Amino acid sequence: DAGVIQSPRHEVTEMGQEVTLRCKPISGHDYLFWYRQTMMRGLELLIYFNNNVPIDDSGMPEDRFSAKMPNASFSTLKIQPSEPRDSAVYFCASSSGIHEQFFGPGTRLTVL
């Protein structure tokens, strides 16, 4: 049974470029979460969806960040334009009716 799939695993880009991170949740899960992990701020929620609808996006840093979930099996997190302070590990997680969340392997983003 496949877990949460994220791509790419690593992304190196230059400041000002657009970055798109992708996530495929576990089949049947109706909640999808995007988290960011940095040394300074730890793990923090960016946004989460329920049945493809954004429920809480209060953690999205600013207008440069946007997230979509066009269907139950796919979500994207986009940063445009990217800045060096966006460098972090970005995790996608999914869950069903229970509260425990299952995480993907993460995307390590480096913005030069």
Interface positions with another protein (CB under 8 A):
31, 33, 35, 42-45, 48, 50, 55-56, 89, 91, 93, 95, 99-103, 105-106, 108
The 3 state secondary structure assigned to 23-42 is: EECCCCCCEEEEEEEECCCE
Minimum gap (Å) between residue 31 Cβ and another protein: 6
Minimum gap (Å) between residue 100 Cβ and another protein: 5
- Burial state string for 61-80 with b = 16 or more CB within 10 A and e = fewer than 16: eeeebebebeebbebebebe
Contact between residue 26 and residue 75 where contact means Cβ atoms under 8 Å apart? no
Q: Which is nearer to another protein, 81 or 89 (CB)?
A: 89
Q: Which is nearer to another protein, 28 or 81 (CB)?
A: 28
